[in-house]
Amino acid sequence: MRTLILAAVSLLPLLAQKPADETAVRDLVARYVDARDHPDAKAIEALFTPDADQLVSSGEWRKGREAVVRGTMASSEASGGKRTITVETVRFLDASTAIADGRYEIAGTNGAAARRMWTSIICARTSAGWRIAAIRNMLPAAPAGR
């Protein structure tokens, strides 16, 4: 019984900060979208951990913050369009790691129809606050056999 009480007490700080952390993670994603829309390389760089990576829907895997920023700037310039990420869920794996899953849309890309994808953004709590550690963008595929 004593172990159960100690375990419950040790989880109280984590439970107390979860709403603030969820807000911070959602804000981080919003700042990422804003930095891409403006496009601001320094602002994008500040949002990522040094070892961040990004696997984009084309299959390109950008490894390291510099590659992520360079690829992000290049794709924003090439495609244009207005980006939105609607975060649907934020799940905490532990007190310093969160996954933000959302719908990702790029509208008005050189006159083409909007691209609709899913994104998973893995966030890490650092001494400087929440930062993006990884991004996985996925294009929905038709179910097999159709």
Q: What is the pLDDT of residues 87-143, one digit of tens each?
A: 999 999 999 999 999 999 988 766 778 889 999 999 999 999 999 999 999 988 778
- Does residue 5 surpass a pLDDT of 60? no
- Of residues 22, 141, 134, the one with CA closest to residue 88: 22
Mean pLDDT of the chain: 88
Instruction: Work out whether the CA dihedral 35, 36, 39, 43 comes out positive or negative.
Output: positive
| Residue 97 in domain | yes
| Residue 143 in domain | no
pLDDT class for 77, splitting at 50, 70, 90?
A: confident
- DSSP E strand stretches across 1-128: 48-55, 61-63, 82-94, 97-107, 115-126
| Residue 105 in domain | yes
| Residue 21 in domain | yes
| Residue 30 in domain | yes
| Residue 129 in domain | yes
The tally of domains found in the chain comes to: 1
pLDDT at 2: 62
| Residue 58 in domain | yes
Domain span at 109: 2-138
- Of residues 49, 58, 67, 73, the one with CA closest to residue 134: 49
- Of residues 34, 7, 17, 12, the one with CA closest to residue 96: 17
| Residue 145 in domain | no
What are the tokens at 95? 């007190």
pLDDT at 81: 80
| Least confidently predicted of 9-13, 47-51, 79-83 | 9-13
pLDDT at 17: 55
Structure pTM? 0.84
Element (DSSP H or E) covering residue 35: helix 2-37
